[in-house]
Every structure is written in structure tokens, then in C-alpha cells.
Amino acid sequence: MAEDAVPTGDGPRGPLHGLLVADFSRILAGPYATMLLADMGAEVVKVESPQGDDTRTWLPPVRGDVSTYYLAINRNKRSLALDLKNETDAALGRELAARADIVIENFKPGGLTRFGLDYGSVSAANPGVVYASISGFGSGAGAALPGYDLMVQAISGLMSLTGDPDGPPYRAGISVFDVMSGLHATIGILAALHHRQATGAGQHLEVNLLSTALSGLVNHSSAYVAGGTVPFRMGNAHPSLFPYEPMPVADGELIIIAGNDGQFANLCKVLGVPELPDDPRFTRNQDRTANREALRPLLVERLAMRSKKELFHELLDAGVPCAPINTIDEGVAFAAELGLDPVVTVGEGEHAVPSVRHPISFSTTPARYELPPPQIDEHGEQLRAWLAAPAR
């Protein structure tokens, strides 16, 4: 295990303490997955080319001269720079994989075979390894396609759902399928570790962005697969609920949600139109959805008399979900007001980096925030010495 040569610190031991992750991934999906594993206590060795992870150069914005994109997904890792085209370095990569509990990579399918780092080669030396591969379109007919999130947003149909009905399709504001694929990879790794604990056997798991996308489109992909309906762009509207969108108020817009008949009745009481639910056009959710164009102006007329702040508190008190449309800084500030402590400091002293808190709270084995995102090959000397020594 890596802890023979890589100190784990004096802090609480996370639920994955003692597991070694050989991380041959780069950019987003893989590094996000390995950061989650590292936060939960696994020791992650980030293997980079001598030029470093691509996201190191994705700037602005920056903190100092370091890309904040890179900083977002690489804490709690140790960096080892290897040129896999160099046999000496490739041998170190194979040794790391042979000692690892988990290997994760997002090369094009088959791209690691020539270095002896494919699943077949690694598992021959390390039968218990959990080996996770992330690609854009799988290892079959789509193996040669580059795996960029924007491509998948387009190909999957997500962009056809995003934007105004009479406007162009839009991408989501984040690389949503990269992040979701990282989460799916993490779930798969934890499931495979459970299987290994029961049987002693490792396995190869594959995650691809397109399958992630079709799963993540949930009700929209189901509308076609189960119902034969092809969804279309509706702006901020919901195909099955109304209201469930931004609504104009006196000083801007407020997200207002009536997810059931009771919430709609409460909304109408707050707005001073308690009779609306008795109108057969608006009594049930399916009625309101079918007659949204008749209902909308009746609500807008009343909403225009009230401010965002006033309505936000009054609607929430009445049990009606609603929300202001915040900027990122306002979102972070709101989470802080709720006591969620969204910002943590990773590392100490001049190298400390503010970071977004791990999303899971553990009552006994909390996430750790020990190592700031590493510089290229920051831990190379230490790790090379450990890999050159006989494994224990």
C-alpha cells in the first residue's frame, strides 16, 4: 500500500483509508472521481505526462498563476510525471498499477495496451484490481470518437432540450455529463470493491459519457423510450408541471414551483386568488399543465404586485417551493447562511487553497482536506523511490 512511503497525516481516517488509486486520467470525469475517492481517504497517485494535465492550461480564471479549473478537481492527490513512451517510466507505471487497489483511466479505448497498462495486462499481475475506464462513446463502434462533453450534449439530445422554443439549442452551463460520468465511475468502483471484499476478485468496469447522458436525461429519455414522445425545447418550462419555472415579479424573476395540487392551492392563497383551484381548468396538475397559457397571465398579474424578497419568505412559509436566481457568489453565500460551510481550506500556509467542500457529510469518517492540488511531479522523487523498492 502507498502508506508505506506516503504519510497519510494525523487527521481522521476516511472510509476508504488504506486503498491505493493509480490515476491515469486527465481533464474532468476521471479526476473528479479520483478526488472524491481521495477526499474519502484513498491515497491517489495522479500520473501525468511531463506536460501535465490539460486543465493546468485551461485559463483564465486563475488563482495566482494556476488554473482554477485544475484546482477544482485535484486536491488530496500526489503527482507523478511519467512519459509512458519511455520504457523506464512505463515500467514505473506498471509497478504502480500492480500495487494499486484501483486503476482509473480515460485514454481512448485500447490506448494503454501498448504500455502494458490495459486491464488484461494489469489484472494478470494484480488479479484483485478494480480497473475503471471512462470514454466518450464506449469501447465498441464508438471507440475512436473523441470524448468531449460538448459532443455528448449535442449527440445525446440534451442541447435539443435546452434554450427557448423558438431559439437555438444551448449547451448546459457546466460539463454536466463529465461530472455525472465521474460520479458513475465512483459508484461503480465502490460496488466493485464490495464484490472484491466478498470474492477476492477484481473486475473491469466501463463508463461512457453517452450512456451516462441517456441515463441522466431520465424523464426525457423515458418519454421517448417508454412513451414514443420526442421532447422538445420549452425554455425554462417543465413538460409535466406548471408552474415550475421563473415567473416575473415586481423587481425581477422568482422560481416558483407547484409540484402538487396542495402547493398550487397554497400559492393561490398567498397571491389572493384562492378560487383558482376550483376552476376545472386548474384543479389538477394535468389540468394546469394542459391549460398553462390560460393560467399564466392570472398568476403573473398577482405576482407583479410583490417583490422577490417578500414573496420568497411568504411562499416558503406557506409550503410553496421558490427560489431567487442567484449568481455563483450569491449561491455560495446562501449555502454559508444555511450553515453548510461550502468553502474549506486545503493544505496549510502559503500553499493553502480554498476549495468547495466534499458533498457528503459522514458522521464518523469525515472527508479530509490535507493536500492542495499538486504541482507537476511534486511527489515524483518520493514515489519513484517507493516504486523502486520491493513491494511489501
Catalytic residue positions, numbered:
178
H or E element at residue 20: strand 20-24
Whether residue 60 has a cis bond before it, omega within 30° of 0: yes
Which residue, 146, 121, 122, 123, is CA-closest to 136?
146
Q: What whole-number distance in Å separates Cα of residue 345 and Cα of residue 362?
A: 18
**CA dihedral of residues 46, 48, 52, 54 (deg, nearest 10):** -80
* DSSP code at position 3: G
What DSSP line would sit under 214-238, residue for residue?
HHHTHHHHHHHHTT-------TT--
String of DSSP letters for 290-355: HTHHHHHHHHHHHHTTS-HHHHHHHHHHTT--EEE---HHHHHHHHHHTT---EEEESSGGG-EEE
Task: Return d(Cα 158, Cα 166) in angstroms, integer.
Answer: 16
Strand partners, 66: 63
Report the chain's C-alpha Rg in angstroms.
Answer: 25
Q: Which of 368, 387, 370, 380 is nearest to 47 (CA)?
A: 380
Nearest C-alpha neighbor of 81 from the set 384, 376, 389 = 376
